[in-house]
């Protein structure tokens, strides 16, 4: 117990120290929201990765999908690395940084408003962000409860309030820079922590080969595997179609999440983007791939009463804590700090995105004369309010708290992914197509929450994103075009004119002099 508490004290002390050390960067709106657009590749890449992977992934998704799909759940982690990190950085990174700087936009709603010359689109995007980031924020706490009960026997409520309070302090002090510097520290903890945990769990199950062999002998649930033998150790698992839905939502979804895309706004330069692409991809491969790989051995614990609900159904959120309960105390301490790191980094990114978006895209649009100082104060006040609201929801969670991340990602990415992607590359994207995608993203998510015509929130989210990629080009081709002069000015940022000085006259003079000398010599020889 002393070791676990010591780890927590050190961890929390470092977080607060970083908040104090980075407070000089939070003196302006751009500094508080984007860190002055000066973050290097390591800070941005780790910030992207730690905002991506929270306790929801490590505890909730790893346990749930590992139990359902076995080792093939690792495909979700691979998809997160390749699609959610590598392709996201390659396709969105540079263009996002260049165009958002050109338009002087600080948030995703701000980008939409300036790109399409529409205040109403900006306000709608801000409302969608606020409405669906808060439930996502609440779901971040969900993975902590069982771990803290297992390690400390501390009530879940105490854990939530302490974590929220500390996150609030360092984000208010240092803004974006405090967030990304803390993300870097937390990312290092996550890298070493997940590696140590995987090795320890496999060791407790007789090593990798023995654990894999045991997993292959488990009786298949015919309703899941349709009689496939050894399904939980197979390449694509017992249910590849639903697994594909998980890969699409958790990988492609990051392309439309404001808190993820916002990391590209703040990166320093193009060289940093190239380095950040590699760093972010490797980070995702280890953390996400490792989490889902670990969850793939969940069936080895299927006989443990700790992972069963009172009605005999499987409590997916209890699987990973049960897998970890037999580890040495020092490793459990590392796991606690690992999950806290994953959760606090995601939480800080979410509340910073929420508070800045509401302040800049709603409040400041209503009060046009709002000063820079007033905006900073408003963001800090709203940040506290958003954290308090997320705590209230997390302490009194609805029955579908485990599905909140799926619904939130579906609505946010379903609304924003397609318009944002096409806006960076295609001049013909129209206002009407953006509105159509907003309506379909939110509409499909809310109606499915009520009527459940798509059984899985995961698959519903994947469908919402896919349909948006079709809606935007189709509606754009059928709706009134944007003002060509405005669009040309927007896309001028990709074709910057550079003047290069070259001393043509000097080179010509030198050549002429050489030719004259040669001619003179030849004339003398002829004479």
Extents of the domains making up the chain: 2-396
What pLDDT is stored for residue 506 in this prediction?
Answer: 47
Nearby residues of 80 by Cβ (< 8 Å), 6 or more positions away: 52, 53, 250, 251, 284, 288, 289
Measure the CA–CA gap between 109 and 123, rounded to whole angstroms.
7
pTM of the model: 0.84
Measure the CA–CA gap between 12 and 103, rounded to whole angstroms.
38
Burial of 133 (C-beta count, 10 Å sphere; 0-12/13-18/19+): buried
Q: Phi and psi (nearest 5°) for 267?
A: -70, 155
Fold classification of 2-396 (topology level)? Sodium/glucose cotransporter (1.20.1730)
Measure the CA–CA gap between 378 and 360, rounded to whole angstroms.
9
DSSP annotation of 154: -
Q: Phi and psi (nearest 5°) for 502?
A: -140, 135
Neighbours of 235 (CB within 10 A): 8
496: region left, alpha or beta (phi > 0 left; psi from -120 to 50 alpha): beta
Burial of 467 (C-beta count, 10 Å sphere; 0-12/13-18/19+): middle
Q: Containing H/E element for 199? A: helix 156-204
Give the bridge partners for 314, in sequence order. Answer: 308
Q: Looking at beta carbons, which pairs linking 376-380 to residues 24 or more positions away fall under 8 Å?
A: 376/26, 376/28, 376/29, 376/32, 379/29, 379/32, 379/33, 379/355, 380/172, 380/355
What pLDDT is stored for residue 337 in this prediction?
Answer: 78
Of the candidates 101, 47, 107, which has an alpha carbon nearest to the alpha carbon of residue 363? Answer: 107
499: region left, alpha or beta (phi > 0 left; psi from -120 to 50 alpha): beta
Torsion of CA 154, 160, 162, 164, to 10 degrees: 170
- For the chain (527 residues), the mean pLDDT of every run of 10, in chain order, is 76 83 79 78 88 78 88 94 95 93 92 94 92 77 64 73 82 83 84 87 90 81 61 86 88 90 86 91 94 91 79 80 80 77 78 87 84 88 86 67 71 94 96 97 92 86 93 96 94 71 50 60 63
Neighbours of 311 (CB within 10 A): 5
Neighbours of 199 (CB within 10 A): 13
């Amino acid at each position: 117990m002393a070791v676990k508490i010591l780890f927590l004290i050190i961890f929390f002390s470092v977080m607060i120290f970083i908040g104090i050390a980075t407070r000089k960067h939070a003196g302006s709106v751009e500094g508080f929201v984007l860190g002055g657009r000066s973050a290097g590749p390591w800070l941005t890449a780790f910030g992207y990765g730690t905002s991506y992977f929270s306790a929801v992934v490590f505890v909730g998704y790893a346990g749930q999908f590992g139990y359902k799909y076995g080792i093939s759940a690792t495909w979700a982690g691979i998809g997160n690395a390749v699609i959610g990190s590598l392709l996201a950085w390659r396709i969105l990174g540079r263009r996002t940084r260049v165009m958002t700087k050109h338009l002087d936009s600080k948030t995703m709603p701000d980008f939409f408003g300036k790109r399409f010359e529409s205040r109403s689109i900006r306000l709608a995007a801000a409302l969608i962000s606020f409405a669906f980031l808060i439930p996502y924020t609440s779901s971040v706490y969900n993975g902590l409860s069982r771990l803290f009960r297992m390690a400390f026997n501390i009530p879940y409520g105490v854990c939530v309030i302490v974590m929220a309070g500390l996150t609030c302090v360092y984000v208010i002090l240092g803004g974006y820079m405090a967030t990304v510097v803390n993300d870097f520290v937390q990312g290092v903890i996550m890298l070493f922590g997940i590696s140590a945990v995987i090795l320890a769990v496999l060791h407790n199950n007789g090593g990798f080969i023995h654990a894999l062999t045991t997993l292959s002998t488990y009786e298949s649930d015919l309703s899941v595997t349709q009689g496939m033998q050894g399904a939980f150790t197979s390449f694509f698992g017992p249910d590849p179609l639903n697994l594909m839905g998980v890969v699409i939502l958790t990988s492609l979804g990051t392309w439309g999440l404001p808190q993820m895309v916002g990391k590209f706004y703040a990166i320093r330069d193009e060289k940093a983007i190239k380095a950040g692409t590699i760093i972010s991809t490797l980070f995702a491969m280890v953390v996400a791939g490792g989490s889902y790989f670990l969850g793939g051995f969940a069936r080895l614990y299927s006989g443990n009463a700790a992972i069963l609900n009172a009605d005999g159904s499987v409590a997916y959120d209890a699987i990973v804590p049960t897998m970890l309960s037999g580890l040495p105390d020092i490793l459990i301490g590392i796991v606690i700090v690992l999950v806290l790191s994953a959760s606090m980094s995601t939480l800080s990114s979410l509340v910073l995105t929420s508070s800045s978006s509401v302040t800049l895209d709603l409040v400041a649009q209503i009060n046009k004369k709002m000063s820079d100082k007033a905006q900073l104060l408003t963001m800090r006040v709203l940040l506290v309010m958003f954290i308090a609201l997320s705590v209230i929801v997390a302490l009194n969670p609805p029955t579908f708290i485990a599905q909140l991340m799926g619904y939130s990602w579906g609505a946010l990415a379903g609304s924003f992914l397609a318009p944002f992607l096409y806006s960076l590359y295609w001049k013909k994207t129209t206002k009407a197509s953006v509105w159509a995608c907003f309506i379909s993203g939110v509409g499909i998510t809310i109606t499915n929450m009520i009527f459940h015509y798509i059984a899985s929130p995961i698959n519903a989210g994947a469908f919402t994103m896919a349909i948006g990629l079709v809606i935007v080009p189709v509606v754009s081709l059928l709706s009134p075009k944007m003002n060509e002069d405005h669009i040309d000015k927007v896309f001028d940022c990709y074709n910057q004119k550079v003047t290069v000085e070259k001393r043509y006259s000097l080179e010509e003079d030198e050549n002429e002099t050489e030719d004259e000398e040669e001619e003179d010599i030849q004339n003398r020889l002829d004479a």
